[in-house]
Structure 1
Amino acid sequence: MRWPIFLARRLAALAAVLLVASFLVYGLLYTVPGGPMSFLLGNRSGTPEQIAAIRHQYHLDQPFLVRYFSWLGDALHGDFGQSLVYRQDVSDLMSTRLTTTGLLVLYATGIIVVAGVALGLLGALRRGPVDTVVSAVNSVFLATPPFVVGVVLVVVFALGLGWFPVFGPGTGFGDRLYHLTLPAIALSLGSVGFLARITRASVGEELGREHVETARSRGLPESHIVRRHVLRNASIPVVTVTGLTVAGLIAGSVVVENIFALDGLGSLLVRAILQRDFAVVQGVVLVLVTAFVIVNLVVDLCYSLIDPRLSPGEAA
């Protein structure tokens, strides 16, 4: 199987996942007590004529599948309807917040990959006291919830030392990165500890393999052995964990966004759920599911690039 066929199959499978997810997202919201009519009417009882007019205005008098496919067709063109609370297009509500959440997740991912892999390699290659210290640091990172880390960072580095702003996403690329530094650290520390443990275990396992011992017996430099024979083979579980971590960051950003008042997609989703703003909930959840699916596709492609044995031609 060649790359085009591999990609076509992956994209077809991902499209099927998105179709099922969109159906569930759209349908489950109509199973809550009262449905959208309870929110639209509020505390009013409404006359039959008023109820009929509201149902017609929001197309609630149409069959469910007709409404679903109409919503799906609009969503494919970037139209997620209008917010019942804000009276704005859902796409407009999400556009600015999507940039904030996307940059936050990318920033946190960079910290996780760099710090997690570095600590894991340090622990695996420097056994003894260094490994003990690294393991202790990883345990502290894993045991500390993001909201605790966020509060500590705000108190120490924002309010105490004044090195970083307390809240807000900033304006412009450089200013946004400056504002998102503390939130990204708060979001990433637990995942740094987890990835460091996975990296340490994977690298440690590869260091004990027979081909590594053979390379050492041939007098090859240790740096060359680690770079050519250890890191590549140890990277598969690291990539897997990184992919799962990024997907988790998308959902976990809700807490951090609330602490630092970033007003991203996570904060918008929480408010929409509390306010029963159905159109916003549907739009945000569909975007998050799409991001999760894309991350899984990227992980699949990385497998084939890292290990030729997992190439598209042999994976089928």
Structure 2
Amino acid sequence: MKGWRAFLLRRLAGTAAVVLLLSIGVFGLLYLAPGSVQQTLLGIRPATAETIAAVQARYHLNDPVAVQYLRWLGGVLRGDLGTSIRTGVPVADMLGLRLPLTLALTGYGTLLAALAGVPLGVLGALRRGRAADRLVVTAGVVGLSAPPFAVGLLLLVVFALGLGWFPVYGAGEGLADQAWHLTLPAAALAVGAVGMLVRFSRAALVRELEQDYVVFARARGLAGPVVLGYALRNSLVPILTAAGLIVTGMLAGTVLVEVTFALPGLGSLLVESVTFKDVPVVQALALLLTLLIAAVNLLVDVGYSLVDPRVRLGGGPS
């Protein structure tokens, strides 16, 4: 228990430091970006001195940037993420409406990547040096080299516009309809993830198949599937590492994919908010994405201890 507590305290402290530094950086970059918040709010209305002064007073835009940041940080610590400058809607409500779609897209993409990447990696390891192995490795390299938004455009042209098998845009209604609408976006995210899973799972399994316990098990006459099961279990740690990298990468990759497929998730909200310099929304999104990535990394670390008893969360192998 002491090891668990120490581990969790270290992770929480590290996450808090990362969130603080990231929020300062995002706030500063938005402050330095071209354009002004008051002009965005005024739109095409005449920018008289009175209206500009009213907008600046309403949103405390005359305060020093450090004071504005500390005001936002104090609200976050009280559970108040602020109000959107662009829409006037509480930021927490906006995130609550958009978060489920982004999580569903990320989970769907991860599932597709795992269903394709791990079996292909196993196939490459079992056929090492043969034509099938070379084909799998080549496909993995191509997948890693393909940007998700470019893959998304290609899938749209072929399977949505050309063949008409999938919808062009939108998130759908209901579980089945939403799964149908999210198939192409999830596949666009999964292509690069498949390449990473192929490389990690193939390399890990090749290494395990060369270990002495595999040679001994085969010499004792154990069936091939049984030996493969032992090797796969010992390969799970690097595969979990790849899975964690994939999920965190997909959380970032949803930005362009959601814009490509016109999905109302966190990614499209981030693009809109950066465009209009909606500082409270951008800050809240940066905070939320950082926390999600930290949670994924924590789950991966816990998974290490579950699949390999030699790994101890309190600090190193037991």
Q: Give me the TM-score of the superposition, normalised by structure 1.
A: 0.88
Determine if contact 1:18/1:289 at 8 Å carries over to the other structure. Answer: yes
CA RMSD of aligned residues (A): 2.6
Q: Partners of 1:104 and 1:143 in 2: how far apart?
A: 21
| Secondary structure of the structure 1 residue equivalent to 2:235 | helix
Counterpart of 1:251? 252
Relative to structure 1, the CA distance from residue 268 to residue 51 in structure 2 (aligned partners, 3 Å threshold; closer, same or farther) is same
Aligned to 1:200: 202
Distance 1:99 1:205 in 2: 39
CA apart distance, 1:259: 1.9
| Cα deviation, residue 265, structure 1 | 1.2
* Aligned length in residues: 314
Could you tell me whether the CA contact under 8 Å between 1:78 and 1:91 is conserved in 2? no
CA positional deviation for 1:192: 0.3
- Superposition deviation, residue 68 in structure 1: 3.1
Question: In the TM superposition, what whole-angstrom CA distance separates every residue of 1:241-260 from its partner, at most 9, and x where no partner exists?
Answer: 22112111111112211221
- In structure 1, the residue matched to 2:172 is 170
Contact 1:269 1:284 in 2 (8 A): yes
- Counterparts of 1:42 and 1:164, CA distance in 2: 37
Aligned partners of 1:25 and 1:286 also within 8 Å: no
Deviation at 1:282, TM superposition (A): 1.5
Aligned to 1:212: 214
Counterparts of 1:1-316 in structure 2, within 5 Å, are 1-33=2-34, 36=37, 39=40, 46-47=48-49, 53-62=54-63, 64-76=65-77, 78-127=79-128, 128-228=130-230, 230-315=231-316
The CA distance in 2 between the partners of 1:16 and 1:268, in whole Å, is 25
Match of 2:310, SS state, is helix
Which is further off, 232-241 or 134-143? 134-143
What is the SS of the residue equivalent to 1:308? Answer: coil
Structure 1 contact 29–35 (Cα < 8 Å) conserved: no
Q: Deviations over 1:218-261 (max 9, x none)?
A: 22222222212x12322222211221121111111122112211
Gaps of 5+ in 1: none
Distance in 2 (alpha carbons) for counterparts of 1:227 and 1:168: 41
1:92 partner letter = D
Q: Give the 3-state SS of the residue equivalent to 1:2 in structure 2.
A: helix
Normalising by structure 2, we get a TM-score of 0.87
Task: Calculate percent identity across the aligned residue pairs.
Answer: 48
Contact map agreement 1:199 1:234 (CA 8 A) in 2? yes
Change over 3 Å in CA distance of 1:182–1:33 after alignment to 2:
closer
Letter of the 1:171 partner, please give it: E
